[in-house]
Amino acid sequence: MNWTNQCAVVIPCLNEARHISDVVTSVQRYLPTVFVIDDGSSDNTSTVAKRVGAEVLRNECSRGKGVALQTGWNHAKKKGFRWALTMDGDGQHSAGDISKFFESAERTGADLVVGNRMVGNADGMPRLRFLVNCWMSERISVLGGMSLPDSQCGFRLMNLETWTKLPVNAAHFEIESDALLAFAIHKYSIKFVPIEVIYKSEQSKIHPVRDTVRWTRWWWRARRYVGSQRDMRPKPVLPLLSGERG
């Protein structure tokens, strides 16, 4: 597959002027088309991203990571791309891992390939984040009916045609859970590839209280949705026991 023609990079950003130049230039060695979605930054993220060759879509005020990602995915699809590679704008994802995503998609035919930080070098992840990720991933795996070892990783390769068929609507940081569960419960192929863990001194943009409340609300809605989907499935016809024929 000619990935340079069929895949665009989508990078949601909020105040990432310090890192976005390095992020964009590093991924351009693998994929030339980069869409940066500036979600209402108060710094010069957009200016820096444009300077190094990214196409920038900007929200005047912050609307949330989920909205930014879906803006980027829609734009990529309208531009004729079949795939989107999603990365964070803070430099926590290594462009050197990109080829792993391509290889996995080609070898397995997966519709969604997700980075897995939970194997090999997970010691680089802050302890609290590691535990929260394990807790969330376990619950999403149960709902999705398959093992989903790193449900919160934003480094992903996604088939855009498949995405358009799915009910992915989350507006904020719960977008990673929402998209992953949608692919899982609708039985599209998901694969995970090990990636490098890169954590810097910057504070996470995830608000521990506000975003936990949002994720919990999403979780309850997701449980109801999964339950409704199961109720709609045809019920198995049980064979009649010997002697029970009418």
- Three-state DSSP at 137 gives helix
pLDDT at 239 over 60: no
Mean pLDDT in residue range 157-174:
92
Which pLDDT value is given to residue 226? 81
Q: What is the CATH number of the domain that holds 181?
A: 3.90.550.10
More confident residue, 230 or 139: 139
Residue type at position 31: L
pLDDT at 209 over 70: no
Q: Chain-wide mean pLDDT for the chain? A: 86
Mean pLDDT in residue range 232-240:
46
Residue 82 lies in a domain: yes
Residue 208 lies in a domain: yes
Q: What is the 3-state secondary structure (H, E, C) of 145-180?
A: CCCCCCCCCCCEEEEHHHHCCCCCCCCCCCHHHHHH
Residue 213 lies in a domain: yes
Q: How many domains does the chain have?
A: 1
Residue 223 lies in a domain: yes
Which pLDDT value is given to residue 180? 94
Say how far apart CA 137 and CA 135 lie, in whole Å.
6
More confident residue, 245 or 41: 41
Q: What percent of the chain has pLDDT over 70?
A: 85
Which pLDDT value is given to residue 236? 46
Which pLDDT value is given to residue 32? 97
Residue 221 lies in a domain: yes
Domain that holds residue 86: 3-229
- Three-state DSSP at 93 gives coil
pLDDT at 115 over 60: yes
pLDDT tens-digit readout, 55-104:
999 999 999 999 999 999 999 999 999 999 999 999 989 999 999 999 99
Which pLDDT value is given to residue 155? 97
Q: Which band of pLDDT confidence, cut at 50, 70 and 90, is reported for residue 2?
A: very high
Residue 133 lies in a domain: yes
pTM as predicted: 0.85
Q: Mean pLDDT check: name the lowest of 6-15, 41-50, 226-235.
A: 226-235
Q: What percent of the chain has pLDDT over 90?
A: 62
pLDDT at 4 over 90: yes
Which pLDDT value is given to residue 48? 98
pLDDT at 141 over 70: yes
Residue 237 lies in a domain: no
Could you tell me which of 139, 199, 150, 202 has the C-alpha nearest to residue 176?
150
Structure tokens at 60: 């005047």
Segment holding 55, helix H or strand E? strand 55-59
Mean pLDDT in residue range 174-196:
94
Residues 6+ apart with CB under 8 A from 206: 173
Say how far apart CA 34 and CA 85 lie, in whole Å.
9
Residue 197 lies in a domain: yes
